[in-house]
Amino acid sequence: MRKLFGFIIIAGLVTTLIYAGKQATALADAGAKTEKSGDIWGFMPDPLAEIDGKKISKQEFVEFFMSNLPDGKLPPMATEQLLKQIAPRMVKQYVESKLILKAAVNAGFKPSQELAEKFFKQSIAEASPEEKKMFENGLAMQNQTIDEFIKQNAGNKAFQENAAIGQWIKSTVASKVTVSPQEVKAYFDKNKERFQDAGDREDTIRASHILVKFKDSTPESDKAAKDKAASILKRIQNDESFEKIAAAESECPSGKMAGGSLGAFAKGQMVKPFEEVAWALNPGELSDLVKTEFGYHIIRRDASKGASAKQFSEVKATIGKMLKDQKVAQIVNNEVQKMMKAANVKIFIEESKPEQAAKPE
């Protein structure tokens, strides 16, 4: 759902690499972090590329790359070998993003906080239910809403550039692209297997829960959490909506994400006390309070999900948007290639070749 760089390729895309609340200082100290990372970037030439005779330095690219990672830090799996594999593609995308941004600004779409707020709100409103749900779920893991995310990041330079590029694509390309009902139906008929759900595995169950966390390790905190959980349990037993209470009261992201639903899971995926109770329940049955290292849980065993196939009416809007996005992406790609040629772009980093296995002597 996320790309390695912040620029938008398809209008309406609502996922970016601007992580909520983490980018305000990342760019400022990227130079220091780059210095600490030392030789891991040593394989890259300097300069990396050239646009209209203007060089793009390694430092510029690395700072941009680092600023679009959580906390401005490379993840543990980012070895030099991995960076060698992805760097050529990332440098090319970085160059492309600069060209697209220039076209957007020339067309009157100048990056600004106002444009960023307006564009991303509109993009989310136009997103498919699946896209919106995925984005909401990702933010829920960070205890944030969409409005909070936009408000917190609208002042971010990369976020604003995303909006300018997205608005340019939407106004100059997407507004002119259409997808016929016949195209949508033909795609569905040829790809029905993509819209089939195999259902839950036999070795899994489904459950939902409401969690009341301990504030600290004191007996007082334990009692407070237990009392609150007991009060919530009584409300559910008195026929209040489990899902609504989970959304309002649960301190697990699943509350805001899906009314407390944890989906399907196998044995060994949950902490032991939780697992033992959940597997002992019958579908639809509610547990008493369950204490784990996280706090007190109220667990409801949910019915397993069987195999099913979605009807055309359920997916036609999603298919239509996907086909339009594909057309838009192709047009944008063609335009970018023209821009690259017109700007006499040169990229000096070569594709990494797979290492040859040593031959036995």
For strand 49-51 and strand 346-347, is the pairing parallel, antiparallel, or unpaired? Answer: antiparallel
Q: How far apart are CA 359 and CA 95, in angstroms?
A: 39
Residue 197 half-sphere exposure, CB side, CA atoms within 13 Å?
10
- Contact call for residues 221 and 214 (beta carbons, < 8 A): yes
Name, of 74-83, 124-133, 292-301, the range with top average pLDDT: 292-301
End-to-end alpha-carbon separation of the chain, Å?
A: 46
Chain length of the chain: 361
Burial string for 262-300 (b: 16+ CB within 10 Å, else e) reads bebbeeeebeeebbebbeebeeeeebebbebeebbbbbb
Q: How far apart are CA 229 and CA 213, in angstroms?
A: 9
Residue 35 predicted with pLDDT over 60: no
Domains present along the chain, CATH in parentheses: 30-177+327-347 (no CATH), 204-302 (3.10.50.40)
pLDDT in tens, 66-95: 877 766 777 777 788 888 888 899 999 899
pLDDT in tens, 214-264: 999 999 999 999 999 999 999 999 999 999 999 999 998 888 778 999 999
pLDDT in tens, 303-316: 999 989 989 999 99
Nearest CA among 263, 295, 292, 260 for reference residue 276: 292
> How many other C-beta atoms can be found within 10 angstroms of the C-beta atom of residue 338?
10
